[in-house]
Amino acid sequence: MTTAYRTPWPGRPSDRRDEPPARPDPHSAEDDGDDQRWGERLQDAVAAADAPDAVFALSHRGRRTVRSGGTAAPPAHPRDTLRYEIGSATKTFTGLLLAGLTDSGRVSAGDPAAALLDGGRPAGPAPATLAHLVTHTAGLPALPAGFHRRALPAWRSNPYGRYPDALVIDAFLRHRPRHRPGTRWRYSNFGVAVLGHALAAATGTPWEDLVTGRLLRPLALRGTALRADGPGLDATGHTKDGTRTVPAFDAGGFQAAGAVRATPHDLLTFLEAHLDPARSPELSGALEAVRVPVLRRGHGHRHVHTVAWFRHPTDAGPLYFHSGATLGQQAFLGFRPDTGTALAAVCTRRFRARDPFLATAYALLAGE
């Protein structure tokens, strides 16, 4: 799909409609009424998700409301304290990391990825840059050539785990795009995975350490990780019908595209930082940058993208969101600066046709 209209990136918003809302006033009776109404709406959303486990966590002008439940028996630990696989919503972390590294001068969005991954390689006349990778305009397919063949033996359990870092990098360096980078949009787990490896190479820091040092620690996300640690801490995924469990997701060489697992409370903390960047000094520039539209596409340029988020209009201001799924779990993350509202929703059931989960979560935030 042809792309159109790019703004300089990264940058800080010149449109003050995205200004974070005022800090909440002291507790009032009206707040109690809002909390009760939100609690009822969230509980209805949990029921609508129709999943073994579901948590809907909302922050509205600094006040949190969390509801959980499910069709399965309650786990040993409260559902809202478990870590959930967020799949492609990991890309919001990766986009923020890239924005932070560019804001600090460690990398440039225009750096050719191949030159970072293979120091002896000339950039060429039209290289795929870090900006191309994060905006899905690098001319890459959704997955590398040969991925399906290699993943097939574990297709219903952990296909990505069979495709390690070295294969992702090699597939990228061998790839010859059919279209000039920057001219077509195609959603690509492959591209964002390559971005993660390029950032690790550029900084000389393993991906997990980079994410921990640059994002998790500054935002105090102590309930967030990039791999499962065994029973007790992590929610268990299920098949489409919610009756059979599936193994914990292994992202293999695609960590930057889908490895994050986090508690609902940590996901709210992450989203609240986007609502009020000034409260996170180490990342304030990056948190502002990831709100800026960098790409418009589709008929009438209706589809708007930032470095990390899909952006839709509402009557009062923009809504930012990203969803994700693994073989046994789903997630929705979104926030609205105009109302000071953020929503993190997770469930432990694989996506299915006419799935109610994402539609319920989006409608809850859009109709706020």
For the segment 31-46, what is each residue's pLDDT rounded down to a tens digit? 667 888 999 999 999 9
Q: What is the pLDDT of residue 232?
A: 81
Q: Give the angle subtended at the CA of 52 by the CAs of 356 and 269, to the nearest 5°.
A: 75
Is the confidence at residue 175, as pLDDT, over 80? yes
Mean pLDDT, to the nearest integer, of 18-43? Answer: 66
Adjacent-strand bridge partners of 347: 54, 330
DSSP string, 163-222: S-HHHHHHHHHH---SS-TTSB----HHHHHHHHHHHHHHHT--HHHHHIIIIITTTT-T
Nearest-angstrom CA–CA distance, 285 and 318: 19
Q: How high does pLDDT run on average in the chain?
A: 91
Q: Tell me the per-residue pLDDT of 210-219, one tens digit each, with 9 for 90 and over.
A: 999 999 999 9
Among residues 235, 228, 169, the alpha carbon closest in space to that of 199 is found at 169
Both tokens of residue 139?
């001319």
Q: What is the pLDDT of residue 122?
A: 79
Q: What structural domains and CATH numbers belong to the chain?
A: 3-14+40-366 (3.40.710.10)
Q: Tell me the per-residue pLDDT of 204-261, one tens digit each, with 9 for 90 and over.
A: 999 999 999 999 999 999 999 999 986 689 999 999 999 999 999 999 999 999 999 9
Nearest-angstrom CA–CA distance, 337 and 290: 13
Nearest-angstrom CA–CA distance, 103 and 123: 23
Range in 1-15, 34-48, 130-144 the model is least confident about: 1-15
pTM score of the predicted model: 0.92
Does residue 325 contact residue 335 with C-beta atoms inside 8 Å? no
- Label residue 326 exposed, middle or buried (CB < 10 Å: 0-12, 13-18, 19+): buried
Q: Which residue has the higher pLDDT, 130 or 17?
A: 130
Q: What is the pLDDT of residue 8?
A: 41
Q: What is the pLDDT of residue 367?
A: 87
Nearest-angstrom CA–CA distance, 253 and 255: 6
